[in-house]
Amino acid sequence: MKKGRRISNSRNGFTLVEIMVVVVIVGLLASIAIPGFTQSKRNSVASRTASDFKKFADQFSLYNLSTGVWPSDGYPSTIPTGMDDQLGKGTWTDITAIGGQWDWDYQAMGFTAAVSIHGHSVDNETILSIDRLIDDGNLSTGSFVRVSEDHVSYIIEE
């Protein structure tokens, strides 16, 4: 009997072409999914921030209704005098969903009373999303306005 080499047709791995096809498919799926995730995250952050603005504005308005005056101007991330009961157990001193700190503005920034975020770190599209949820979608008009590049305010009383 003659001894020779045995030739096998079985494959032990993937070819370069097969690997490249998988990489292209994964890349296409990622390019479709990532913008959707980004928009979803932006919407979530905008909704949370808009809700917090309304909640805090309501708390300051209730204070004004019960006392007849607005609290004095505050500093970012500090509870204004007299607002301990309304804000003490809340998220006023936490970093906001868009970065930065909550701030109470009284007789400042050209209006009487406003809830503000000072030092936010999100893009303009997220800020516009918040404006569309609680106002007119224009950052230079209405009750939600951009005061500076990193300061937005929800005006309660002009």
| 25 belongs to a structural domain | yes
Task: Give average pLDDT by consecutive 10-residue segment, the chain, 158 residues.
Answer: 59 83 89 78 90 94 95 91 83 92 92 94 92 90 88 94
Q: 124-155: per-residue pLDDT in tens?
A: 999 999 999 999 988 888 999 988 888 999 99
> Sign of torsion, CA 55 69 131 129?
negative
Single-letter residue type at 107 = Q
Structural domain contains residue 7: no
Question: What local confidence, expressed as pLDDT, does residue 74 receive?
Answer: 83
Q: Tokens 């993937």 — which residue?
A: 14
Q: Is residue 128 part of a domain?
A: yes
Q: Residue 138 domain-assigned?
A: yes
Which pLDDT value is given to residue 107?
93
**Chain-centroid distance, C-alpha 93:** 16
Q: Does some domain include residue 2?
A: no
For the chain, the domain total comes to 1
Is residue 92 classed exposed, middle or buried when 0-12, 13-18 and 19+ CB atoms within 10 A define those classes?
buried
Within a domain: residue 11? Answer: no
